[in-house]
Chain A
Amino acid sequence: MATTTSAPLLTLAGIRKEFPGVVALAGVNFELLPGEVHALVGENGAGKSTMIKIISGLYRPDAGEMAVGGEVAEFRSPADSIARRIKVVYQELDLVPDMSVAENVFLGGYPKTPRGLVDWAALNSRTESLLAELGLDIDPGTPVGELRVAEQQLVEIARALSQQAQIVIMDEPTSALSPGEVDRLFAVIEQLQQRGVGIIYVSHKLDEIFRIADRVTVFRDGQLVTTTPIAETSIQQLVTWMVGRELSDLYPKSPAVIGEPLLRVSNVSGPGIYDLSLTVHAGEVVGIFGLMGAGINSVGRVIFGASPRTAGQVTLAGQEVGAGSPGDAMEKGLALLTENRKEDGLVLPLSVKNNMTLASLRKFATFGWLWPRQEIKESADYVNRLSIKTPSLRQQVRFLSGGNQQKVLMARWMMRDPKVLLLTEPTRGIDVGSKAEIYRLIDEMAHRGLGILFMSTEIPEILGIADRILVMREGRIVAAFGRNEATQERLVAAAASDLNDAIVEAG
């Protein structure tokens, strides 16, 4: 079905949303046309997700009007939004893992028999045909929890089809997909486009946006910066709009002074990683790049002992580090910052100070008795040194912004004076200013002679701060580059080859 009309599917006029202390959206005007892929870009916290939540009925705007298909729409709940044929595919997939594919596809709107009961036969057969449309060969009775992320994503899209959505919103849909899977997804998007469906596509992967989008809208600090046809802009231009300044000053990289080898990892295996060997020297920043699901998130955990190590050896400055014991790893001088700030980093109900000192309590205690004065003094020092924005040391850490929370965690580990710091995606989900400060801290620590092992899924930061870059795919190191030989293209090529492709082995 071709697009016969260019009347907008969705119009936002002057949409405003405030939260205590923050203006999340300051009067946004936005338009989505039928058959259009409209990309939204912006840093985290720029207002993209607030806008999505307003369109999906999770939030109600404080001011402004929204119209769907020319009719004014006031959504009180997601049900209202769904009734207007809007479907959001969230980044954190909203599926019920214990329930079947079919039930998930029709969640909230099951096919029913004339008596009003769930029509299991229709449920399964209709799901089957929807999955077939997407080229997905899965038994509709399979519990969703057993599918791979990419398959789950397509289940979400099948859900959009089942609701005959006119507007589909996709929030970072490719973050867990391999390039083959991305192609598959883009084919589906084009299919949707041809039916006249309007697609709002949120992504921070700018190259993808240039492949798929017709127009792009840029957000910064709750403001809509601009909307422009994709053909009339460039990646460089988008970044400048998003960040509000030139990108180059993000990475303060001072020349590395490489010293003795500190961390030696030999033939280590564990959940998600196989036969990992690497060395980190004093003063060196080693980056490991990989796509989501490539195993980079396990590297730090296995080395540190937070996940079981099934084979291999780890030594730090010549001393062997025991497997499966974070305590021992800490004794020997390792520190680990994980990628899930809220899940296994912060203790949300505790204060800023208590979060900072958590890993070095012994330092402030004699026979287990804490001396608060020393603790307060040292915490205050770190608050100033890392310019952490908090009203007081007693403030519960949950009330801090993502960037400041991350700095609290950096302080927790810096306080222990580790020899080697393992950082897994330390800048995930934080604002540009805090990112820059974390890069500065990493640089400063390396300069002081610490070894840094830095795992990331984002190419620019890896290129920006690492002295040496390893590429990981399916749990194995598949390539290694020096700082000067690494380019975006080479990293992507090494990280993304599919199983069937020839594996680029590199040393």
Chain B
Amino acid sequence: MSSVFASPQENGWQKWKAVWARNEALSLLVLLAGVIALFMVIEPTMRKSSVYWDLLRQVSPTMVAAVGITLLLLSGEFDLTVGSMLALTGIVIVDTFNRTDNMWLGILAGLLTGLVIGAINGTFVTVIGMESLMTTLGMMFAIRGLVYVYTNQTPIVDQNRFTQFTRLWFKNFGPVPSPIIVALVLVALAYFLATRTEFGRNTYAIGGNANAARVSGINVRRVKFTLFVISGLMASVAGLLYTAQTDTGYFNAGLGFELEVLAAVVLGGASLAGGQGNVTSTALAVLIIGTIGKGMRLMSIDTTQQLLVIGIVMLIAVYYHRIRKQTAARLTQEAYAARQAARGNVLA
């Protein structure tokens, strides 16, 4: 909620620069538009709208998981379990399908998984006081291992063939694919949570200065615990969407997903130290990475070589954020100096 106070001498160009520098989401939107424009020029298929609807479908699990992680990271904590959660949720859902022949129970069980794992992570970190990066690294291996043990490394196929379930992935409303609707609803909810509720503001406060939050009477542990649960829940929703795609629980689903999600969060400008970032930017960052991947696939660049480009884009983006933040800081300093000069020392 930083206010943009323009100093009197800012001319048109500087005003635009200030808007660009201070508004993370807007700067990412510009980046996204640039990427899309670039691909439209060099790859004719990228000019078709169907490509973008398809793209939105594909990025939705990542977007859901990334938004959950963003909220958690705002408070200064990590969650590396999202990749393993993708596999675990899938296994739990399909296995429950097969055992109960009830689709709704399966979905419920899947979401409950996220809730439980999130609560376990939260307990380790907030009650026992363990460091979150290490703890969730351990949980990541533990969950993946349990999935291996339970499935004996064979996929679990839905024997009921719940077509209703797969619609979660394949159905379109008009041109709009259903998974992106789920994702956008969750983004909107997260945005609302972060900006309009006291809980959301407390999250920013904790990440910005945990000590200040504590002495202001904010229950830091409770907020963080809740965020872990939210992050777990979001990961299982991502798993739900992912599983609907094939109607199968894969033991190897989501290998490396945690780093992919983290890359998007970082590209969205969230600080690993907490307190900075927002869900809209993360969602945009997911779209940027998705567009680059999609564009390169269409240009029949080998899927595997896309990593190279994504890595380079990440580095550039982080540097871009850095420059942007520095510019913002310089501009506010200048504006501040101007304000001081205009009014004199407010206290003297």
Contacts and interface: CB of A to CB of B under 8 A. Distances in A.
Interface of A: 56, 58, 77-79, 81-83, 88, 90, 94-100, 103-104, 107-110, 112, 116-118, 120, 136-139, 141-143, 146, 150-151, 154, 178, 180-181, 184, 498-500
B201 A103 contact: yes
Contact of A500 (B3, B218, B348): B348
B215 A98 contact: no
B346 A151 contact: yes
Contacts of A110: 198, 201
A108 B347 contact: no
Contact of A118 (B196, B218, B219, B345): B196
Given A82-B217, A99-B1, A107-B218, 18 more contacts: A96-B209, A96-B275, A97-B209, A99-B201, A99-B204, A100-B3, A107-B216, A108-B213, A118-B201, A136-B346, A137-B343, A142-B5, A143-B2, A143-B332, A178-B348, A180-B347, A184-B347, A499-B348
Nearest to B220: A77
A96 B219 CA distance: 16
Interface string B204-237: 1100110111111111000000000000000000
Contacts of B219: 77, 79
A137 B219 CA distance: 32
A120 B214 CA distance: 22
Interface string B62-80: 0000000000000000000
A499 B3 contact: no
Contacts of B348: 178, 180-181, 498-500
A141 B216 contact: no
A117 B191 CA distance: 13
A146 B332 contact: yes
Contact of A58 (B201, B215, B333, B347): B215
Interface residues of B, number: 34
A95 B275 CA distance: 13
Contacts of A107: 205, 212-213, 216, 218
Interface of B: 1-3, 5, 195-198, 200-202, 204-205, 208-209, 211-219, 275-276, 332-333, 336, 343, 345-348
A94 B209 contact: yes
A137 B217 contact: no
* Interface hub of A82, A96, A110, A118 (most chain B Cβ within 10 A): A96
Contact of B215 (A56, A136, A146): A56
B216 A78 contact: yes
9 contacts: A78-B214, A79-B217, A98-B208, A104-B212, A118-B196, A120-B1, A141-B3, A151-B347, A499-B345
A388 to B, nearest CB: 30
Given A78-B215, A137-B343, A96 B1 contact: no
Nearest to A498: B348
* Interface hub of A78, A100, A112, A116 (most chain B Cβ within 10 A): A78
Given A103-B1, A137-B343, A82 B216 contact: yes
A481 to B, nearest CB: 26
A56 B201 CA distance: 22
Contacts of A96: 204-205, 208-209, 212-213, 275
